Structure 1
């Protein structure tokens, strides 16, 4: 009797597992469709087009590696890459330093939810809106920012109309918008650090600065690596802020970043094949940079292990 009564449980459990699998598939289907239709397929299509000459006016013509040979000899591409690297260095350097400072201050002084909301508020503003607002603020003739500078005796500065000021200004605009989100990521990492390590350091007479250098930064390395990878990828893809503030990559090509050059080639000159080749090159560059960052910062291992 005991054996016969236990046998029906196995088919019921199997049926339940099959039902759970169908439910999971149902919930995953929209996301999977979106991934296939809007990410994987465009990526594969773009890789194919990078080996062709295609302008929407006819069928794609296979040209092999011609687009990549053209890219190597294209001075505008190298200039755009240089401008992009300049933007990335300023954006990541300032954003990481300021975000780390904000996160440490929030962790040590206050953990107010309201304060976190204030810090995150600029991130909720779209890049286009942020670009328009700062375009008005920094306008050379009518912007309130230049009015304040003139009142202080500094004089008016053409932030977005001067080749030397344009990229640093755009980088700092995006720092203002994204630094709150970055700070909250670091703040979450700080909350996971054990307080016993800090207590032991204080008992040994370590100052706050020494604790920060020798305890906080090493233990926070995996979080910092994640933050740097995210901000690096996002920074190399900057487009909308430049499109709003300088419109054409000016002045004199000073803000003609790689993404803007790709956009101009594809939708301004209808050179979709060559634009696709530059996009593939950017994708490979980001993959290499991400891998190097991951390995150098040992992002997969923590000093707590």
Structure 2
């Protein structure tokens, strides 16, 4: 028994020539590792790496899916950067991110703090998390019925305030706000769960020490809980910004043809419209590369700004 254990634990053996030969058990263990990791690697290559390489190739070519592919160099990028629809898409996408991320995270923190004080919170967690596991298409269709001119929300506003019901989906000034409302509602539950876990991970001794020093509820929240929660808020903000830059399904279902006067046209919808609406796969791929660069820039700015507001317990930023 001891010999078997020693053989399993030994990573290699010495040979007369001085080379270290891997044990038979370690080789078998390595093969099993490749077997379990293999499906994930194959899926990543087929569904991530190959489409990414193909998109880069098409970004420098002209192809409609049927005719012969021809190289055009940087013409696709030049035409896209001069396209008013792409510029409108970028502005709309950044507006959605700048509206949904701060408001969504802010409400999530407040709700998490309120739920932390409850002894029984299972029902509330289920209710808040339900939109996260619900199909985005189903969520958008439900909200579409609510936001119609004769829908529940518009009728309630007209009845309470005595004004004409707003046309959330037909008014260019309200369509983007409607998309933001649905996006915040659909993603809030996940952030609530994450922030609640972060709040429960804060040491009780730190809270008790602050209370003994005379810290009130506001000071306790702003000076103690928020700094200790800042790494989690930073993580959630990065994920939320990236998700907001990829907004598509809500726009596609909620507003027809990117809303009135392209009021809700996002970059991903622009990519879809060029590729599968007009069969201009070259400009579509160029717009996808532009989205990639924009995402990298936004993420880099967030990581550069974290030193000003993210506080780690070990003092490292």
Q: Same fold (TM over 0.5)?
A: yes
Q: What's the C-alpha RMSD, in Å, of the aligned pairs?
A: 2.0
Q: Given that residues 119 and 180 in structure 1 are in contact (C-alpha distance below 8 angstroms), is that contact kept between their aligned partners in structure 2?
A: yes
Distance 1:15 1:84, change over 3 A: same
Q: In structure 2, how many angstroms separate the alpha carbons of the residues matched to 1:125 and 1:8?
A: 49
- Contact 2:63 2:69 (8 Å CA) reproduced: yes
TM-fit CA distance, 1:129 = 0.5
Tell whether the 8 Å contact from 1:222 to 1:298 is kept in structure 2 after alignment.
Answer: no
The answer to whether 1:80 aligns with 2:84 is: no
Which structure 2 residues correspond to residues 1-305 of structure 1 after superposition, within 5 A?
Answer: 9-10=6-7, 13=10, 14-110=23-119, 112-141=121-150, 143-152=151-160, 153-298=162-307, 302-305=311-314
Question: Where do 5+ consecutive residues of structure 2 fail to align?
Answer: 11-22
The offset of 1:53, in angstroms, is: 1.0
Offset of 1:127 from its aligned partner? 1.1
Between the two proteins, the alignment pairs up a number of residues equal to: 299
Relative to 1, partners in 2 of residues 1:294 and 1:108: Cα closer, same or farther, differing over 3 Å? farther
TM-score norm. by structure 1 comes to 0.92
Deviations 1:135-174 (A, max 9, x none): 1112112x12222223222431101110111111111111
Deviation at 1:12, TM superposition (A): 7.7
Residue 303 to residue 11, structure 1, CA distance change in 2 (3 Å): closer
Structure 1: tracts of 5 or more residues without a match: none
Normalising by structure 2, what TM-score? Answer: 0.89
